[in-house]
Chain A
Amino acid sequence: MRRPVDVQNPPAVQRARARAEGTRRTARTRPRDQRLTRLWISSATVAVAILLWEVAARTGVMDARFTSSPSGVVANLPWLVESDFRVHAGYTLYAITAAFGLSLVAGAAAGLVIGRVRLARRLLDPLVTIGYTTPLTAFIPVVVMFLGLGITSKIVIGLVGGVFPVLVNVAAGAGTVDPPLLRAARSFSVGRFQTYRHVIVPSVLPYAVTGARIGLGRVLIGVIITEMFGGSQYGLGLLLIRMGQSFRTDELMLLVLVVGIAGTLTVGGLRSWERRMARWRAV
């Protein structure tokens, strides 16, 4: 018996390529080494940046009253526990969770309907386009006028920001369900609910993750910015504005870092999940 030869990639060619790679592209390394280099270089850059910032603040190249300094930020870490930061953070977290949860549920339900029912798509498309493209922040003054500055207006703005990306992406995913799969389900007389559960929802999932990632980013922006509106009582947005107005740059910088890192971890986490799911996409 002959061993099957990979016609696309015969051994001789593989060897030749390996030789060529070895001589010509020494920079090409294995993924693991690459990750190590990456980690090394990026942590070194961050360290240098922090060092430069500190030196600039100490020597007066940058005015520490405006730019704070790494030591100033670190020295203020206990402030996070001692002050009413926890109250504000809890408030913001609550508004974000509520708005994001509602966005996911409402966006997924509406997206499935719009993606699968032609009449619904035709009727709602213009509204969705307007809602999705208009800058979220433009709604804030109007919503605040109606709902006041309580937590409702924050959740509503977050919802306006979050629901459309989820909806649009789920609808796009529902529109691309592989027709043979649907036909197969029909041949086996699978019920409507079962078809949704076993055929449509799994193919929509990667798109839903994309929608959730974009939606979460917008929910964060919407909630924090609404809290910044004058007259709010609680929230990290309010705290940010307060620290800025009272020139407490150290606390302000610390807050910016905390909020930024929290956003990076959640949105960035969804982004890497999305990247893993992308392999699953039909298109």
Chain B
Amino acid sequence: MNLPGATGRVAAQAVPPILPIAALLVMWELAGRFGLVNVFLASMPSRVVTAIVEMATEGPLLTDVLTTVRLLFVAYGVSVVLGVVLGMLAGFLRKFEYGFSPLIWFFYNAPIVAFIPLLMLWFGLGGPTIFVLGLLFGFFPIYVNTASGIENVDPVLMRLGRSFCLKRWEMAWKIVLPAALPIIFAGFRLAMGRVFVGIIVGEIFAGSRFGLGFRLRNAADRLQTDESFAALVVIAVMAVLIGTVLRRLDERFSAWRMVGN
């Protein structure tokens, strides 16, 4: 069902993948230059670049990025620690998992953003609200993946362990955890993207002075299109960077998983 044979393949390889993005940018720039769209509202790539450079050299861009990154890592780190510890408890102790499963299922599937007004009521504007929001976005995927990874170990491996008369902790340490690791890592990867979403949402609604989300909201409120596009571009670049790093890490671990299966 691909393009007919060799022509399709050659055509596909001849086209640089950056082309559509470049074309879009050029069209956007030209539309602005020739007055097809209102530059005040739609901005232009060149003006966005200027805005990024200005914000980076004279403005608060560096502080914004650092603020966001710090919150991101703190919320992610706490999510990972809590998620792995409680997830392991739930994975090994069925009763523990049963007890918390309705709550977990609720927070795992509900749209977390509905809690924003409540969090703002409890923690006010600023860091704590944003941190808790990031935590709510990140903790549950890690917990759920850790618990289900531990519970769903290949029965063949479990039987193998029992054949060797392993003790309980030996089973846990030598068989269950290694077998569950790829699923736990998948949770880590899933959570990173979600924590980033949570931090940006939190900064948009509850950011007080710095942070990329706050900058975006602030620029949009002042109708500074160039600045808000600049903030959007920085956020997108960060997201793609984080995504690429995580995918590389995941590929390294999945090479191992392929053997395991």
Is A228 close to B, CB under 8 A?
A: yes
> Is there an interface contact between B114 and A259, defined as CB atoms closer than 8 Å?
yes
Partner of B111, one of A144, A263, A268: A263
> Is there an interface contact between A42 and B197, defined as CB atoms closer than 8 Å?
no
Partner of A263, one of B109, B118, B217: B109
Closest A residue by C-beta to B241: A133
Contact with A along B61-102 (1 / 0, CB 8 A): 000000000000000000000000000000000110011111
> Is there an interface contact between A119 and B12, defined as CB atoms closer than 8 Å?
yes
Min CB distance A178 to B, Å, is 13
Is B253 close to A, CB under 8 A?
A: no
Assuming the A-B contacts A129-B243, A224-B114, A244-B117, are A141 and B1 also in contact, with contact meaning beta carbons closer than 8 angstroms in the complex?
Answer: no
Closest B residue by C-beta to A241: B117
Assuming the A-B contacts A263-B109, A268-B109, are A119 and B115 also in contact, with contact meaning beta carbons closer than 8 angstroms in the complex?
Answer: no
Q: Which residues of A contact B201 (CB under 8 A)?
A: 135, 137, 225
> Is there an interface contact between A119 and B118, defined as CB atoms closer than 8 Å?
no
> Is there an interface contact between A225 and B20, defined as CB atoms closer than 8 Å?
no
Assuming the A-B contacts A42-B98, A66-B122, A264-B110, are A130 and B116 also in contact, with contact meaning beta carbons closer than 8 angstroms in the complex?
Answer: no
Contact with B along A175-216 (1 / 0, CB 8 A): 000000010000000001001100010000000000000000
> Is there an interface contact between B8 and A118, defined as CB atoms closer than 8 Å?
yes
> Is there an interface contact between A133 and B193, defined as CB atoms closer than 8 Å?
yes
Min CB distance B175 to A, Å, is 15
Q: Which of B208-253 contact A (CB under 8 A)?
A: 212-213, 216-217, 219-221, 223, 225, 228-229, 231-232, 235-236, 239-240, 242-243
Bound Cα distance A134, B229 (Å): 13
Q: Which of A45-84 contact B (CB under 8 A)?
A: 45-46, 49, 66
Assuming the A-B contacts A141-B217, A142-B229, A244-B121, are A220 and B235 also in contact, with contact meaning beta carbons closer than 8 angstroms in the complex?
Answer: no
Q: Which residues of B contact A127 (CB under 8 A)?
A: 20-21
> Is there an interface contact between B102 and A260, defined as CB atoms closer than 8 Å?
no
Q: Which residues of A contact B122 (CB under 8 A)?
A: 66
Assuming the A-B contacts A252-B117, A255-B114, A261-B110, are A134 and B239 also in contact, with contact meaning beta carbons closer than 8 angstroms in the complex?
Answer: yes
Is A256 close to B, CB under 8 A?
A: yes
Q: A-B contact count, CB below 8 Å?
A: 187
Min CB distance B204 to A, Å, is 6
Min CB distance B213 to A, Å, is 7
Is B15 close to A, CB under 8 A?
A: yes
Q: Which residues of B contact A136 (CB under 8 A)?
A: 197
Q: Which of A94-141 contact B (CB under 8 A)?
A: 116-119, 121-127, 129-130, 133-141
> Is there an interface contact between A217 and B204, defined as CB atoms closer than 8 Å?
no
Closest A residue by C-beta to B116: A228
Q: For chain A, what secondary structure do more than half of its interface residues adopt (helix, strand, loop), or is it mixed?
A: helix
Bound Cα distance A220, B240 (Å): 23
Contact with A along B29-71 (1 / 0, CB 8 A): 0000000000001100000000000000000000000000000
Q: Which of A124, A135, A136, A256 has the most CB of B within 10 A?
A: A135
Assuming the A-B contacts A133-B243, A134-B236, A228-B205, are A123 and B20 also in contact, with contact meaning beta carbons closer than 8 angstroms in the complex?
Answer: yes
Min CB distance A137 to B, Å, is 5
Q: Which of B2, B114, B162 has the most CB of A within 10 A?
A: B114
Bound Cα distance A129, B102 (Å): 34
Q: Which residues of A contact B8 (CB under 8 A)?
A: 117-119
> Is there an interface contact between B2 and A116, defined as CB atoms closer than 8 Å?
yes
> Is there an interface contact between A271 and B3, defined as CB atoms closer than 8 Å?
no
> Is there an interface contact between B1 and A138, defined as CB atoms closer than 8 Å?
no
> What are 28 A-B residue pairs whose CB atoms fall within 8 Å in the complex?
A37-B98, A42-B99, A45-B98, A66-B121, A116-B2, A117-B3, A119-B15, A126-B20, A127-B21, A133-B193, A133-B242, A135-B196, A135-B197, A135-B235, A139-B232, A141-B220, A141-B228, A145-B220, A182-B1, A217-B109, A217-B111, A224-B114, A253-B118, A255-B114, A259-B114, A263-B114, A264-B106, A264-B110
Counting from the closest, the 6 A-B pairs by CB-CB distance are A244-B117, A141-B220, A260-B110, A41-B98, A220-B111, A267-B109
Q: A-contacting residues of B (Cβ < 8 Å)?
A: 1-3, 8-9, 11-13, 15, 17-21, 41-42, 94-95, 98-103, 105-107, 109-118, 120-122, 162, 193, 196-197, 200-201, 204-205, 212-213, 216-217, 219-221, 223, 225, 228-229, 231-232, 235-236, 239-240, 242-243
- With A119-B15, A123-B19 known, 5 other A-B pairs at CB within 8 A are A27-B94, A44-B99, A45-B103, A240-B117, A261-B106
